[in-house]
Each structure stands twice: as C-alpha cells, then as structure tokens.
Amino acid sequence: MRILSSQVAEHVGETVCVAGWLHRVRALKSVTFAVVRDRAGLVQVVAADAELVKRLGELPEETVVEVEGTATANPQAPGGVEITSPVLRELSDPALTPPFDIYRPVVTAALPTVLDNAAVTLRHPRLRAPFEISAASVSGFRGALEGLGFTEIHTPKVVSSATESGANVFKLDWFGRNAYLAQSPQFYKQTMVGVFERVFEVGPVFRAEPHDTARHLAQYTSLDAELGFVTDHRDVMAVVRDAVAGMVAAIAERAPAAVELLKVELPEVPAEIPSIHFADAQELLARETDEDPRGEPDLAPAHERWLCDWAVREHGSQFLFVTGYPMAKRPFYTHPDPERPEFSNSFDLLFRGLELVTGGQRLHRHSDYLAALAARGESPEPYAGYLAAFAHGMPPHGGFALGLERFVARMTGADNIRWTTLFPRDLHRLTP
C-alpha cells in the first residue's frame, strides 16, 4: 500500500512503500542516495546493496519507481527520515533526460524551453507551484460566491456573431456556417441574472490578440460573476472584495507549500477596499506628480502604479478600486453615473500596480440598450438574443471579470503570464 513522501515520518521503524519520480541519484563511495519525488514532496532512499547501487547508477532521473523499505529516522536526511534497505521496482521505461535539471532548486531554463517541454518541465516544484496557487484561487472564488447565493453556469463558447468588440475574434467553420469563439460570457451571464439573479462562470475565453506581450494570451481562464438587484456598482464591488478575499484565504489554506516555496507575500484584503473616483485620481496625479493626466480618457500604466503606491501609503491597502471611468472608454452596456453621465458606474480593481478586475453596473432597461446602440451607430439585430432578456424585464445588475492567470501572476510576482498558464496559446504558440 503506497504512502506519500510526507507520510513516511509517521512510520519510522515500519516497512513502507512510496512511489514517484527518481528526482536525483547521488552515488557516494559506499552508498547511493536516491531522492524520490511524489505529489507531496521528496523522500530520500539509501541504497547500500551493490546490485541496487549499480541499477540506480543506470536509471535516468525522472524514471518512475516504486520503493519498498524501512522508514528510518535520520536527522541529516531531508524531513528527518529516509528509507533504508530498499527494494526498487521500475514503473516506467527509463526516462529521457529533461531539457534542464528538474532536481536543482532553481530553474535554469528560459521560458520558451519551459513551455516547449511543458510535459516534463512543469514537474519542477517551482514551476508547478503557481498552478497549485491557481487551483486554490479558483476554489476560493467559487466558495465565496456560492456562499453569497450565486449559481454556477456554463455558457456557449461558440457564438454566431462577432459582437462586443468586433475585432480580435477567432473565426470558425460551424457545419459550413461562420461562427466565432466567445470573447467573454458577458451577454450570457447578464441574461442569466434574469433566471438565477446571481451567477458565476469559470471558463475559457478567446481573444485573437495580435500583440505579443507578457500580459496577453489568446486563451485564458475568466472568472466571471454577475448579480441582480444592485443599487449601483458599489454592490458589485462588495462582491469583488469577498471573492478576492476568498481567493487569498484559499491560497493560504490550500497551497501553503507553494506559498512558501515561491515566497509569496499574500496581501491583506481590507474589509472595505479603498476606492477613488477616476476624476479624483486624475486630480491627485496632477497635484502630486509631474504629470497632468486630466482630460485623458483612461489611466496610463505608470499612473496605475503610482495610485497603487498611494493606496499603500494612504490606506495601507495593496488593493485600490478606481471608479467612474469615462463612458467613452467602456462598452455599450455600461451604466452611466446618473449624476455625471459622462462618467460610468464602472470600476477597476488595481493590485500591485496592475488592473486585476474590471466590472461595473450594466444598463438594464431595454430602451436604454436601444439608445446606447443607436448612439454608437450599431444595429440591434445581431444582439437579438441578448436584448430579449431586457425586453422581458431585467433588474438593475452588474458584474465583474477576473483573469485567473493574471491573478496568479500578480500573486506570485511572475514577470510573464505564461509562467502561470499550463499550455499558453498566443500569436505564435499552438503547441504543445
């Protein structure tokens, strides 16, 4: 009966069986040390038997083995325990040598090598760790929203028209008809507010992003939520706060080894995240920095960074909501600020210098949708299925979206989103 490497210490003096990958073999004069890696960590195996020493000398690292032996306390061994008098059985063919040494604590390969050889390189504990944080994050997201009465939905990833932005969509042959990969579940999640009031979805979205940057992917995992019966965007921001707090708490609880290995500094999520209006943020930047961004329709990356530093100084928070972005830069379904209709009831959540979440209140009256589309010179026809929801009665609502890979990149300090994506898809990369 196999036990995990982390359980060996509980069985000192007993015969135990572990199984995993031959992480490292080191031959000394009289004995050979073999380190076996499984999903829980590493355990040292000590071979003194001449025949086994010889076999171990011939077995390539990454070969899969099962080892039965005696769990023996040894303060010198990693974890204070090792397996002695081992009997070893190979479970795979002898393994091909990885493109870099998986057993070294640091990753000596560059990103393209890591991605080209993901099947083996992601076995490196440092390269695997972001995905443990990713899994914990999603679990925390779902747990927080389920606790708030949200229902999980699954919506189509293939749609009939290239709506919303028009550009950057992937075109598809759908039984001889043109179709497109969905850029977001936006229309569907709004529609489903009419059915469930509060919905969330975790799923892939597709952007035919022609730029090759460290922050963009052609497929990523979007964490989407939408809720009805809001007063305005601030009700949505309260849910964002709880979702992000749930994600951070889940990382701490479910992925402590990854947090430690990557030295992740998990942020405090304030009970109420500080917020600043877009116009006030511009005033602040004009007053406190050398630049005057007033009149610009959006914040520059440098301004987002400055505002994040300001939020830490002023509010002791690594998170900052910027609200009220100008309507001009937001999609047609955005709800204006009733008091100042050139600004919107929208927000971005900034974290450590970058935008992490985008959201806001949406229009909910059918007549407002027709007017908004007309104002942009767009026909309502391609939006028929979406507009039907509003024609049939929809409450004031809003929602948000958070890119999972970007969230994990921010948490782990990764300099490229591809470090936090299992098999990235982009302009150049369609394999493995």
Nearer to a copy of itself, 39 or 294 (CB): 39
209 belongs to an annotated ligand binding site: yes
Give which of 217, 134, 115, 221 is closest to 408, Cα–Cα: 134
Strand ranges, E, within 229-280:
275-277
Question: Shortest CA distance to 215 belongs to which of 419, 351, 406?
Answer: 406
CB of 389 to a copy of itself, least distance (A): 4
What the block records as the tokens of 372 is: 């908004």
Q: Which of residues 194-213 bind a copy of itself (CB under 8 A)?
A: 194-198, 202-204, 206, 208, 210
Tokens 């590493």 sit on residue: 42
> Rounded to an integer, what distance in angstroms lies between the CA atom of residue 165 and that of residue 303?
25
x/- track of binding to a copy of itself for residues 20-59 (CB under 8 A): xxx---------------xx--------------------
Residue 146 in the binding site for a copy of itself (CB under 8 A): yes
Structure tokens at 362: 């949406």
Q: Is residue 62 a contact point for a copy of itself (CB under 8 A)? A: yes
The answer to whether 13 and 23 have CB atoms below 8 angstroms apart is no
Least separation in angstroms between residue 183's CB and a copy of itself is 13
Nearer to a copy of itself, 24 or 128 (CB): 128
Would you say 54 or 392 has its CB closer to a copy of itself?
392
Q: Other C-beta atoms within 10 Å of 167: how many?
A: 10
- The per-type count for the chain, helices as H runs and strands as E runs, is 12, 16
- For position 159 contacting a copy of itself by CB under 8 A, the verdict is yes
Closest to 152 in 3D by CA, of 101, 106, 99, 192: 192
* Residue from 139, 249, 274, 331 in contact with a copy of itself (CB under 8 A): 139
Structure tokens given for 207: 């952007």
Contact between 155 and a copy of itself by CB under 8 A: the answer reads yes
Q: Count residues binding a copy of itself (CB under 8 A).
A: 94
Asked if residue 391 binds a copy of itself (CB under 8 A), the reply is yes
Tokens found for residue 273 = 């995240």
Q: Does residue 93 touch a copy of itself according to CB under 8 A? A: yes
**Using rule CB under 8 A, residue 173 touches a copy of itself:** yes
Looking at residues 342 to 381 of the shown chain, list those that interact with a copy of itself (rule: CB under 8 A).
364-367
Per-residue contact string for residues 117-136; x = within reach of a copy of itself by CB under 8 A:
xxxx-xx----x--xx-xx-
> Cβ distance 186 to 207 under 8 Å?
no
Residue 327 CB, nearest approach to a copy of itself (Å): 21
**Is 224 a residue that touches a copy of itself (CB under 8 A)?**
no
CA–centroid distance for 255 within its chain: 14
Smallest Cα–Cα separation from 73: which of 89, 58, 84? Answer: 84
Q: Which residues are part of a known binding site for ATP?
A: 207-209, 215-217, 355, 403-406
Q: Which residues are part of a known binding site for L-aspartate?
A: 164, 207, 358, 362
